[in-house]
Chains A and B, each alone.
Chain A
């Protein structure tokens, strides 16, 4: 028994290292925060939706429908002007303006299906953003049921199929200034969500692949001591950093080109070949958009490579280099999940700042933003990515000139202790000066 305990103790001590714990703790924290944001969106969807109603009919049937709508939703506008209704809804964060046309009851009593005209005000293109439109759909069904009930109570001679389905919905969606007739927010979100899953996933894969190349290269160079040889050759340290980055960037660029070709086919097929042609509403990318997406992706890659180069400084060998790809993976996973579930424009400010600060967010969001002509966000992201990459590369060049590259000490003759973050990273990789 004593031997087993002894082995268990050794195993736990060996396996429960900061390198094993930190990523798990970070991952738990990230998923916790995402859960809060998604939970918040869910709570919002559970609340009665805010709507406006224009009853142009004024009949018993339309009144029954209105009363149901009023009971199940928060009606913030009940007037006769569409533009006024949309303004009020915009101010009160409403989701739909429902119009009951003047011929509503006349059509039903004449054995024709009535029409409920819905103007959707779509706030964001994230999956969570379309939840409120789903609850309005349910309320509209309830309104139709109340119309059926009135018809039954009146012992109406209307055809039974019309009694059971007295009205249909005709819809128009307004999203980021674009008016899209005959399409619901759910349909748009559905199409965009296909992209929202695939694009960030591909960006994540490219970043992880290219990033692990740089870190592994550093780890291998240290393990084989080829780095020591390289550093004693008559070549400037900055040239070594730029050479390594450029080499990896070229490989990354090849990956990006493959990605762009695949993506080109992908977006063409979803915008033109699907059941709903998004190009009809101007939701397509032109040549300039593709260039911007390419630049954003390249700069995102460069930022990732420069960050990996910095992390690679802490790699002791190839094996420890693999562990060090974890922070980059985590950093890329945050925007990936956020972009999949939420829309940047409808997120809380803190979330927006956090996401904007991660350079990998921008290539993940670029396509969706460009589809809706949000050039400010894309160009701003590109500028930020360029600045991030430049600063990170400058730090990498600085680190290449210091003992830290080989020994793990920051200060010349350093009597002062290391910064806790650097210390933790060294501890993770158990680096010791020789």
Chain B
């Protein structure tokens, strides 16, 4: 007998009326959205819109003020430990431990997700994703910004997380590196990982995301596929959509 698939089985992230305040300053003002399994969902908006705060909440780094968040059915407030087992978070401008080699860094992270052969498998995948050739055995402090970002993306994706939370995925990278990393994200998504990313680069999001949410001043002002939004606002690109929506 075939198991009946419910709507909730298709949802990776469920955010309901999420509010996050820092004292009297409200960074997120009651946002709601859902991300489907296997989807690449983008949060876009200017600096200070609340994108990073939203990602940090979902990555279990910040406590919520009110509202409800579920990640693959796990309640964020009560089951943060369970959520950490299935997610991977890549902060904007993140670094790695400079005194470790690239390989040592991947081994350090992999050790949290398994033992023995499983660690070896994870590291092998990480080395493949990072694609740093022999430089993987060099210390991180000798890496360029692009190499470090590749290593970190590899770190985030090598564990095959159910959900990858990527803040400004191509932050500080040149055009070629950015393109490669975007391809990598696409490939990872096609292999079953749900990706939630943020960017203020609206062109990037348009190229990469299945669906997007436009954020401004702590609120989601519009949500949909890039095509839907462009059609709805009669614009050629998402940047124009955003300007129209905010105006």
Q: Which A residues lie at the B interface, using CB under 8 A?
A: 223-226, 228-229, 231-236, 402-403, 406-409, 412-415, 417-418, 433-434
Contact = CB atoms under 8 A, between A and B. Distances in A.
Contact of B98 (A224, A403, A406, A409): A224
Contacts of B59: 228, 232
A415 B24 contact: yes
A407 B22 contact: yes
B19 A232 contact: no
Contacts of B85: 234
B169 to A, nearest CB: 15
Interface in B24-76: 24-25, 27, 52-53, 56, 59-66
B56 A413 contact: no
A353 B92 CA distance: 49
Give 10 closest A-B pairs by Cβ, nearest first: A224-B95, A413-B65, A225-B94, A232-B89, A433-B22, A234-B85, A225-B91, A234-B84, A228-B91, A233-B112
Contacts of B27: 433
Given A402-B63, A406-B62, A413 B21 contact: yes
B94 A226 contact: yes
A212 B33 CA distance: 44
A224 B19 contact: no
Given A225-B93, A229-B94, A413-B66, A234 B22 contact: no
Given A233-B109, A413-B19, 8 more contacts: A224-B97, A228-B61, A229-B90, A232-B87, A402-B63, A413-B21, A414-B23, A415-B24
Interface string B165-191: 000000000000000000000000000
Contacts of A407: 22, 62
6 contacts: A224-B95, A226-B97, A232-B60, A232-B84, A235-B84, A412-B65
Nearest to A405: B61
B129 interface: no
Q: Is the interface of A mostly helix, strand, loop or mixed?
A: loop
A433 B21 CA distance: 10
Nearest to A418: B23
Contacts of A433: 22, 25, 27
Interface residues of B, number: 37
B233 interface: no
B11 interface: no
Contacts of A223: 95
B15 interface: no
A434 B52 contact: yes
B96 interface: yes
A236 B63 CA distance: 16
B87 A403 contact: no
Contacts of B91: 225, 228-229
A119 B84 CA distance: 73
Nearest to B20: A413
- Chain A CB count within 10 A is highest, among B22, B60, B94, for B22
B234 to A, nearest CB: 35
B154 to A, nearest CB: 13
B81 interface: yes
B97 A234 contact: no
A433 B52 CA distance: 11
Contacts of A236: 81
A412 B64 CA distance: 7
A84 to B, nearest CB: 71
Contacts of A434: 52-53
Contacts of B89: 228-229, 232
A75 to B, nearest CB: 70
A407 B64 CA distance: 13
Contact of B112 (A235, A403, A414): A235
- Chain A CB count within 10 A is highest, among B53, B59, B60, B62, for B62
Contacts of A233: 84, 109, 112
A412 B63 contact: yes
A307 B24 CA distance: 29
Contacts of B19: 413
A417 to B, nearest CB: 7
A406 B61 contact: yes
A433 B64 CA distance: 14
Contacts of A408: 22
